[in-house]
Structure 1
Amino acid sequence: MTAQSSPAAPSSSAHQARDARPVALITGASRGIGAAIAEELGQDHHILVGGTNPATVDAVVQTLPSAEPFLVDLSDLDAIAPAFAALGLSGLDVLVHSAGLAWMNPVAETSPSQFQEMFTVNVFAVAELTRAALPLLRGSSGQVLSINSGAGFTAGAGSSMYSGTKFALRAMTDALREEERGAVKVTSIHPGRVDTDMQVALQESMGNQNYDGGIYISPRAIAEAARTVVDMEDASMVESISIRPVQK
């Protein structure tokens, strides 16, 4: 990942678009689940497209009716709050944590630095961005959606790092929900295996050379679940969703 040390100031046209639409910030929005959620919410929200690569982020921005980039390296915790402040937001309605790292490795073969790397992006960065965004979310009675995983409920061989981060993310999301109850809605979405580039890499790492994305959940299905969460009436909140493939 490449840190973005000097985020560009938002343009006047971006401010005008924000005034006309609710605002949603989505991390990991340049591909996979994040991109699908950006496309779905982009129908009626101004989307802040989170990512690290300016070219891939801009490619998503260009497909949306109202959007701008949010470029930051989530592994650089000190860069997150300044990058968020540089957006110059007057309000924020939805924060979706979709960025994350995933790979499999036995405990006996995993170094402290590998644990640190995954926990930094999957947990610590989520906490830091949430902390930065909470004042605006409280002001709009907004929502936080954490894209977790089935690995947030159970761990198998080789998943100590990934499941460990997702267990921690679930705990943090549950705690945040109670801390902000009545001020900010907080939802944890737990997909099973989703047909993404990340899934392809995971399956290859486990020796599966006959990848069939058709048996996995589509990113679009997760985006539709996110839409259901965002569109709930003011008096109701979806606390947690588990979405599983039909086939094992």
Structure 2
Amino acid sequence: MGTYLITGATGGIGTAVAELLRERGHDLVLTARSAERLDALAARLRTGAAHAATQVFNPGAATAPRPTPRITTIPVDLTEPLRIEASLGMADVPARLDGVVHAAGMVHLAPVSDLGADEWIEHLSVNLVSVAELTRLLLPALRAAEGHVVFVNSTAGLRANPEWSAYAASKFGLRALADSLRAEERSLRVTTVYPGRTATEMQRKVRAEEGHPYAEDDFAAPATVARVLVSALETPRDAVVSEVTVRPN
């Protein structure tokens, strides 16, 4: 079993990824801004782990107990990239990480004429600069395990639409970060996932800003995106899923 760090763990896709990895018996390091929401998620995942299968059955072989996954939480505020190193320094970060899943993000829609510098700074800080800083700080642990970095991008990182400029710019930058990291760190595997509209609280906010109703069934489920992401993590070592787009049907 491996150890995976997930940012934005209390959000829709982050939580769904955490649930799948926990079901597979992996240890988790969960990060998000709210310590209270992290603790609640960790408690729920531990309860689920307690009811998961604890035996591995192989015909003709002795059964062996499966250890309960270890779940650690680290509150991290991605709006302040310069404080991330201190946050990690006060936490129990594993010396080896089999993977890091960057699932955190934020969005606010507005035309370029209405976007002030503070909104640009927030988009770039959360969606790009903090991702780069966290990746840099975790590289020794990733190198030790020849691990996997997954960037949850967006179809807005492939095409910018009206009123999406700040968000799209941050996601275009995230794509560049992934491409450079893949070329520089040859012992690591790097995947970019481009979800289309997904049924999350972020999407509910977006629909409100667009002046449209939110209907969960109109969008891809977070669990569906998580399955694609975890499948990329589970790809055999002789290959890597470098990019994958997941759109609602």
Normalising by structure 1, we get a TM-score of 0.88
**Contact 2:95 2:144 (C-alpha < 8 Å) held by counterparts:** no
2:41 counterpart of 1:60 = yes
1:226 paired residue among 226, 229, 233: 229
Unaligned runs of 5+ in 2: 50-69
Deviations 1:80-104 (A, max 9, x none): 1222233242211110001111111
Task: Report the CA distance between 1:31 and its aligned residue.
Answer: 2.2
Query: Where do residues 121-200 of structure 1 align in structure 2 (5 Å cutoff)?
Result: 121-181=126-186, 183-200=187-204
2:14 counterpart of 1:34 = yes
Report the Cα distance in structure 1 between the residues aligned to 2:131 and 2:92, rounded to whole angstroms. 18
Unaligned runs of 5+ in 1: 1-20
* Amino acid across the alignment from 2:7: T
| SS of match in other structure, 1:47 | strand
Larger Rg: 2
1:69 paired residue among 62, 70, 73: 73
Q: Which residue is 1:120 aligned to? A: 125
2:29 counterpart of 1:48 = yes
Q: Which residue is 1:237 aligned to? A: 240
Q: Which residue is 2:56 aligned to? A: none
2:215 paired residue among 203, 212, 216: 212
Report the Cα distance in structure 1 between the residues aligned to 2:36 and 2:140, rounded to whole angstroms. 30
| SS of match in other structure, 1:105 | coil
Report the Cα distance in structure 2 between the residues aligned to 1:158 and 1:31, rounded to whole angstroms. 23
Report the Cα distance in structure 2 between the residues aligned to 1:82 and 1:45, rounded to whole angstroms. 26
Report the Cα distance in structure 2 between the residues aligned to 1:153 and 1:215, rounded to whole angstroms. 21
Task: Report the CA distance between 1:76 and its aligned residue.
Answer: 1.5
Q: Which residue is 1:17 aligned to? A: none
Report the Cα distance in structure 2 between the residues aligned to 1:62 and 1:151, rounded to whole angstroms. 34
2:91 counterpart of 1:111 = no
Deviations 1:187-213 (A, max 9, x none): 0000000000110110011100x3211
**Contact 2:8 2:105 (C-alpha < 8 Å) held by counterparts:** yes
Report the number of matched residues: 224
Deviations 1:47-78 (A, max 9, x none): 11111111111111112233121111111112
2:3 counterpart of 1:23 = yes
Deviations 1:153-205 (A, max 9, x none): 00111010010111010111111111112x11000000000000110110011
Q: Which residue is 1:10 aligned to? A: none
Query: Percent identical across equivalent pairs?
Result: 34
* Amino acid across the alignment from 1:41: L
Normalising by structure 2, we get a TM-score of 0.87
Report the Cα distance in structure 1 between the residues aligned to 2:86 and 2:148, rounded to whole angstroms. 21
Q: Which residue is 1:12 aligned to? A: none
Q: Which residue is 1:83 aligned to? A: 87
